[in-house]
Every structure is written in structure tokens, then in C-alpha cells.
Amino acid sequence: MFRLALTILALFLISNYTLQAQSPVIADGTELNLVSDQFSFTEGPAADSEGNVYFTDQPNNDIWIYTIDGELNKFMDESGRSNGLYFAENGDLLACADAKNELWSISPHMVVEVLVDGYEGKRLNGPNDLWPDPSGGIYFTDPYYQREYWDHTEKEIEEERVYYLSPDREDLIIVDDDLVQPNGIIGSPDGNTLYVADIGDGKTYSYTIHEDGTLSNKTLFTEMGSDGVTLDEQGNLYLTGDGVTVFNQEGEQIEHISVPQNWTANVTFGGTNNQTLFITASTAVYTLEMKVKGAS
């Protein structure tokens, strides 16, 4: 009887450990998959309506596509040193074009429209990441990272801000200028909540979004900054830097994904079912199958 009791207890402990070891977000039994490590520095992953993922190789001035069929193709060179990307509802690719500190819209045929080239006559610091809201307006971060290909070495705008471009593209407004170095940005699919990672201050904030694009209720979400960010369908927030760290809606860490690179820059969901996590990390890009889908 004593041995039976010990056996039952051991089985219970093993079973309990297995349950605890299972990730709340990563598909059981899956492993990080290296797509390619042929790049200089990867950034800005964004999925189109079919699940193909576009990303930038920023130092080489290229935008690439990783298709739902597993093919890796170059989409565009001379891409304005694009960094962060996101797809608009009409299928155009929105890009933070760092070469001349601009915000671009790129058609499927690679026709470029410059949406923003400055603020009140001054050059932007360098649009870095962006998120279009459901109404068609665009939020973007504008930190300052000195680039070797720039002719200038000083800011024209001292503050490193978050801006909002109105849906009609007529008005550009400041929505937060009280940040050290805003970087990653993402909003909830319902358009009610915006998340901004202040990588310079090691913090990430949430905001309430209003109909006119302004923000209120700035709230500390977690004491961790991030380069890029994304959301899943459960409202979990994914932050990058040292791999990928996942937080639930209460700001509690629920997962950490180790990535074998010095820096993990950005992350998004893609694939045919919007259930593949696509990770840009230094010279490489990776995929990871998930239990959850990306927010959409």
C-alpha cells in the first residue's frame, strides 16, 4: 500500500510538472525554426491579408517576403532604409523610411507615396515603428538613432515623440512627447488601446485611444522596454530585446522565448492561420508555431 501511494504521488507530481511546463502560448512540441541568417540586421515584420510576412534588412536597404509557401524572396531594394512596417487596409505597405526620416506608403507594385516628411517644417528624428488604427489613421514612434548614412548629426526636434497622422492624411499631431526613446508600438484590434514601448526608459505603457486619435490614461504596463511589439488574440503583449517576452493583459510575464541571437528586434504573427510567430533577430529570421493566433 505504501509503495502504491508513493507511485500515485510520483505520477501526480510528474503529471503536474508536465502541465506546468506546457506553454500557455507556444504550440506543444514545437521548436524555434531558423528561416535564414543571411541578412545584416532584420526588422519590421508585417503580415499581409494572406499571411505572407514582409520584413526589412535595414542596413542593406531591402524589404523581403517570407511567403505562406515557405519561399524567401526580395520584394524591394532602395526601400528608403525602411525599418518598421505595417499593412494598411487597402493592401499598401506602410513603412518607416529612415533614409530621409519619412513615413511611406508602398503599393503592391512598389509605387511610393511620402505621407510624412517632417513636423512644422522640421525634420523628424527617424520614424521607427507604426500602427494603423481601424479608422485609417497612423500612430508612429520617432526616436533618434544616429545613422551613418545621414548627412546630419543633430536633432531638429529635441523631443522623441509619438505622432498620429489623421485618416485623411491632412493633420499630424503629437500624442505623447513625455517619453525618453519610444520604439515599439501596437494597438488593439478594436482601436481602443495603444501600447508604446519606451526602450530608452525601460518601460511599456498603455493608453486609451479617442475618436480624434488623441490619447489619455497613460498607464505603466510593465517595467520593461522593447524594440518591437505585437499582440495575440487573447490580448497578450509580446516584447523583444532579449528574445521574446510575453505578458498577459495584467502585465504579468507568462512566457519567455529564447532566441540564439544577440538581439531580437521585432515580432509579428503570420501564416495561413495567423498562428505562426515570425521573429526578426539580428542577422536572422525565425518562425515558431503557436497555440494562439495574432490579434486581428
181: number of CA atoms within 13 Å, CB side? 12
pLDDT greater at residue 11 or residue 205: 205
Note the pLDDT of residue 220: 98
Note the pLDDT of residue 21: 62
Distance CA 271, CA 285 (A): 14
Distance CA 242, CA 174 (A): 30
pLDDT at 8 over 80: no
pLDDT greater at residue 96 or residue 14: 96
Domains and CATH numbers, the chain: 32-289 (2.120.10.30)
CB atoms within 10 A of CB 17: 10
Give me the phi and psi of 17, to 5 degrees please.
Answer: -65, -40
CA torsion sign for 268, 186, 273, 44 is negative
pLDDT in tens, 47-101: 999 999 999 999 999 999 999 999 999 999 999 999 999 999 999 999 999 999 9
Distance CA 194, CA 250 (A): 15
| Residues whose CB falls within 8 Å of the CB of residue 13, separated by 6 or more in sequence, listed in order | none
- End-to-end C-alpha distance for the chain, whole angstroms: 55
Note the pLDDT of residue 1: 45
| Residues whose CB falls within 8 Å of the CB of residue 220, separated by 6 or more in sequence, listed in order | 203, 204, 205
| Residues whose CB falls within 8 Å of the CB of residue 18, separated by 6 or more in sequence, listed in order | none
- The helix (run of H) or strand (run of E) holding residue 17 is helix 2-21
4-13, 108-117, 160-169, 265-274 — which is least confidently predicted? 4-13
Predicted TM-score (pTM) of this structure: 0.92
As a whole number, mean pLDDT of residues 108-121 equals 96
Residue 33, beta-bridge partner list: 287
Note the pLDDT of residue 13: 39
